[in-house]
Amino acid sequence: MKITIGFIAEQSGVSKSTVSRYLNGGYVSEELKSIIAYNIKKYHYVPNQFAQSLKAKESMMVGVVIPRVNSYAAQETLMGIETVLESHHYKMMMSSSSLSLEKELEAIQLFDQQKVDGIILLATQITKEHTNLFNRLSVPIIIIGQEAQGQSYFVYNDHSAGYIMAEHAYKQGYMTWDYIGVGESDRAVGILRKQGMYLMAKTDSDIKVHEHKGDFSFATSERIAEEILSDNLPHCIICATDTIALAVMKVAKRLNKDIPSDVQIIGSGNYDITTLSYPELSSVSFPYRETGFDAAKALLELMHDSDKKFQVVVDVSLVPRGSL
Amino acid sequence: MKITIGFIAEQSGVSKSTVSRYLNGGYVSEELKSIIAYNIKKYHYVPNQFAQSLKAKESMMVGVVIPRVNSYAAQETLMGIETVLESHHYKMMMSSSSLSLEKELEAIQLFDQQKVDGIILLATQITKEHTNLFNRLSVPIIIIGQEAQGQSYFVYNDHSAGYIMAEHAYKQGYMTWDYIGVGESDRAVGILRKQGMYLMAKTDSDIKVHEHKGDFSFATSERIAEEILSDNLPHCIICATDTIALAVMKVAKRLNKDIPSDVQIIGSGNYDITTLSYPELSSVSFPYRETGFDAAKALLELMHDSDKKFQVVVDVSLVPRGSL
DNA sequence: CTGAAAGCGCTTACAG
DNA sequence: CTGAAAGCGCTTACAG
């Protein structure tokens, strides 16, 4: 049978109100407390959360929507978020959109219906539908990774990331670059990083850049790398992400190129695996974990003061290693 | 203001029952349908999930509890689970315990309260409390990674993993091994893999094994590797996990050892990054994704036939590469 | 095909 | 300190 508050009340010889008060820390005599406690234990009573939430104000849960489960950036960000939520006794619920925008929207809406106290979205793209949904939400939301007009967000300085990679190549004396980018639907990675790179390239008219359109996948990156390296010439390859860079490195090794004398490689993201390759991969560091931490703190504030707005740009920095 | 079913009914000039019926596919005249639809749209009405679930039977959600967010095994398993849930129109909610057994128990209980339709636990340890909780759950649960008496579970053949690593070392002609293990609280990784290795070692009395007690962390593994390699002798190192193996490889390179001529290394797990190192890491492959897939399928069955019981042992296989 | 009413399991003023 | 009662937003027989 189903153990309800009414059953516990009955067994304890008190009213439901009293049991409810016991559960929520209201006035109950010591005597009743112990007998109620006894029965709750005896029957393994667990309050029905739906019934509670129908009245209650706070669920002490925050929902986090991530683009995919095997993303280094997502993992790190989650760990930062988790740290602050935990210390404030909130539970973190996660939902992955598997890179489907539709599922992403659904997940956000589901969290809203579930009456979480706040939502964090690790975004890859902000569409008109996103904006509409954001405005209808009954709980605060913070977006990480992409700008969203009128909302609170934390974005990385992706423009600077592109510039920094280019500048490093330039300072090492390389004047002809291959740039492997990703699609422009991801504004931060697809557009801003590339723009940053070109801004730097324009500072010296001797610089030549060959642009290649790629995507986030390892396989596509390998294919592009094979094309680039097929001419047996030296190449300085600037990659929009570390995944791309790692794929390039793998192909270069397969073709017996020496890194960094034949082929120079730099990526962005500073994934943990950049230090496992040989040579280690030069990269641009994005403070994912700290940003997750800060965003969660900000969300906590928003939950209590919905007039606030956070729109912060997080700095990135060069981490030169062996590959360039 | 809050848009409820009552408000929509009022605006549409019908009763709440009719709106509810509209929502749930009951009898409603075409005429009323369109006017209700109109108002739902107009006011962006979204049913309160708590109120629904108070009555409803199914939530179409399954909860997955993972030990930590940055685990390769967890990621892969999740992707397998996701594939089947998605195709059956279930939503996947994830919760991480951050390796805290207490949080793990809480998360399971929370999912149960939330009336998910089923739970999958990626386990690292099964305690008495776990068993008690499992028996009290009102929804089916499947455990992956550890045996749980009386429950449905999918475990890997960890004993075989240990044996396979040892056998490979033996066949390559190495007779003196260093084995780096993890704590025994994780029965599968800590005990079974080690036992499998020793079982193989016992087949030839010339085999010597030096056992080292480590843990899952990269840092501890590096420390142990430094100890082992400090004698400047050759070493054949069998590692309970790929993380440990990767750490050993890093230290070996730092000490300018050649792999595999000075130092031989093998791990378990077949993480994706095993192919990024140079040389690539030999390992034992665990079919994480397929197991997630199968476990989710099994859960779906359990949800409709709670008498079933799944207790399956999944095979693992050697993947020899450059490091041993 | 439609609506009034009871009920899901809890919380919360309110009166005592 | 305690209990009766109303209410949270929905669903579901039941009668019409």
Res B113 pLDDT > 80: no
pLDDT at A235: 98
Query: Could you tell me the distance in Å between the CA of residue A36 and the C1' of nucleotide D4?
Result: 20
Instruction: Write down the pLDDT at residue B82.
Output: 94
Supply the pLDDT for residue A285.
Answer: 98
Handedness of CA B207, B212, B216, B218 (dihedral sign): negative
Give me the mean pLDDT over the B191-204 stretch: 98
A54 CA to D7 C1' distance (Å) = 10
pLDDT at A201 over 70: yes
Is A91's CB within 8 Å of B86's CB?
no
- Whether B93 and A93 lie within 8 Å, measured CB to CB: yes
Per-residue pLDDT, averaged over B122-134, amounts to 95
Q: Do residue A94 and residue B98 have CB atoms under 8 angstroms apart? A: no
Backbone angles phi, psi at B151, to 5 degrees: -110, 175
Closest listed residue to residue A48, CA positions, set B141, B105, B51, B95: B51
Is residue A136 scored above 90 in pLDDT? no
- Residue A315: pLDDT band (50, 70, 90) is very high
Mean pLDDT of A131-145: 92
pLDDT at position B248: 95
| Confidence category of residue A277, pLDDT binned at 50, 70, 90 | confident
Residues 6+ apart with CB under 8 A from B258: none
- Residues of A in Cβ contact (< 8 Å) with B70: 75-76, 79
User: Between these two residues, A247 and A115, which has the higher pLDDT value?
Assistant: A247
Q: Mean pLDDT, to the nearest integer, of B29-57? A: 84
What's residue A57's pLDDT? 61
Q: Does A98 touch chain B (CB under 8 A)?
A: yes
Name the one residue in this structure whose structure tokens are 């667990």: A46
Residue A114: the pLDDT is 76
Of B32 and B282, which is predicted with more confidence?
Answer: B282
Query: C8 C1' – A297 CA distance, angstroms?
Result: 37
pLDDT in tens, B218-274: 999 999 999 999 999 999 999 999 999 999 998 998 899 999 999 999 999 999 888
Distance between A96 CA and the closest CA of chain B, angstroms: 8
What is the four-CA torsion angle of B21, B22, B23, B26, rounded to 10 degrees? 50
pLDDT higher than threshold 80 for residue A115 = no
- Residue B160, pLDDT score: 98
Q: Does the structure show a pLDDT above 80 at B187?
A: yes
pLDDT of residue B55: 72
- For A206, the token pair is 């001797």
Q: Over chain A, what is the mean pLDDT?
A: 92
Q: At what angle do helices B5-12 and B30-42 cross, to 10 degrees?
A: 120
Alpha carbons B267 and B263: distance in angstroms, whole number: 13
> What is the per-residue pLDDT across A237-265, written as a single tens digit (0 to 9) for each?
999 999 999 999 989 988 999 999 999 99
Q: Is the pLDDT of residue B164 over 80?
A: yes
Confidence at residue A3, expressed as pLDDT on a 0 to 100 scale: 85
Residue A198 burial by CB count (10 A; 0-12/13-18/19+): exposed, middle or buried?
Answer: middle
Share of chain A above pLDDT 90, in %: 69
Total residue length of chain B: 324
Residue A96 to residue B91, Cβ atoms within 8 A: no
Q: Is A110 on the interface with B (CB under 8 A)?
A: yes
In this predicted structure, which of A23-37, A240-254, B128-142 has the lowest mean pLDDT? A23-37
Comparing B305 with B195, the larger pLDDT belongs to: B195
Smallest Cβ–Cβ distance between B250 and the set A109, A110, A276 belongs to A276
DSSP secondary structure of A69-106: TT-HHHHHHHHHHHHHHHHTT-EEEEEE-TT-HHHHHH
* A192: DSSP letter: I
Mean pLDDT score of chain B: 92
Among the partner-chain residues A136, A273, A278, the one whose CB lies closest to the CB of B273 is: A273
Residue B45 clears pLDDT 90, i.e. is over it: no
Q: Is the dihedral of CA B283, B285, B286, B289 positive or negative?
A: positive
- What is the pLDDT confidence band of residue B56, given thresholds at 50, 70 and 90? low
pTM across the whole model:
0.86
Do A54 and B48 lie within an 8 Å CB cutoff? yes
Average pLDDT of the residues in B81-100:
91
pLDDT tens figures, A58-113? 678 899 999 999 899 999 999 999 999 988 888 899 999 999 999 999 899 888 87
All protein residues with a CB under 7 A from any atom of strand D: A 13-18, 21, 26-29, 31-32, 51, 54-55; B 2, 4-6, 16-17, 20-21, 23-24, 26, 47-48, 51-52, 54-57
State the pLDDT at residue B57.
61
Above 90 in pLDDT, residue B275? no
The whole-number pLDDT of residue A314 equals 98
Q: Please state which of the ranges A36-40, A239-243, B74-78 shows the lowest mean pLDDT.
A: A36-40
Asked whether strand C has any atom less than 7 Å from the CB of B23, the reply is: no
Residue A1 has pLDDT above 80, yes or no: no
As a whole number of angstroms, the distance between CA B106 and CA B316 comes to: 32
Each residue's pLDDT tens digit, A179-196: 999 999 999 999 999 999
